Amino acid sequence: MDEMKKVGREVETETKKQIRDLDGHDLGDDLGNAGDEVKKDLGNLGDDLHRGAHEVGNEIDRRWNETEKKVR
């Protein structure tokens, strides 16, 4: 799912970039493109952090369950 979201963000960013260049190129286009890149990168980072936190939570649960089994 995260990979599909990354591809979607990339397509959105590139599409906006192409649309901005239709009427010529100016500083506003550069600023818009930079903002879109930051938004895309932050979205991807958020997905990566969420996945990492989920994996850590799963590992904690696994170790907790192992410990409970040993105590019984």
Q: Is the pLDDT of residue 9 over 90?
A: yes
Query: Would the pLDDT of 2 be above 90?
Result: no
Cβ atoms < 10 Å from Cβ of 44: 15
pTM metric for this prediction: 0.77
- Give me the pLDDT at residue 59, please: 96
- What's the pLDDT at 1? 78
Predicted local confidence at residue 53, as pLDDT: 97
Q: Tell me, what's the pLDDT at 47?
A: 96
Angle between helices 27-71 and 2-20 (to 10 degrees): 170
To which residue do tokens 């932050």 refer? 42
Sign of CA pseudo-dihedral 11, 13, 19, 22: negative
* pLDDT tens digits along 22-67: 999 999 999 999 999 999 999 999 999 999 999 999 999 999 999 9
Count CA atoms within 13 Å of residue 14 on its CB side: 6
Token pair 């990566």 is found at: 48
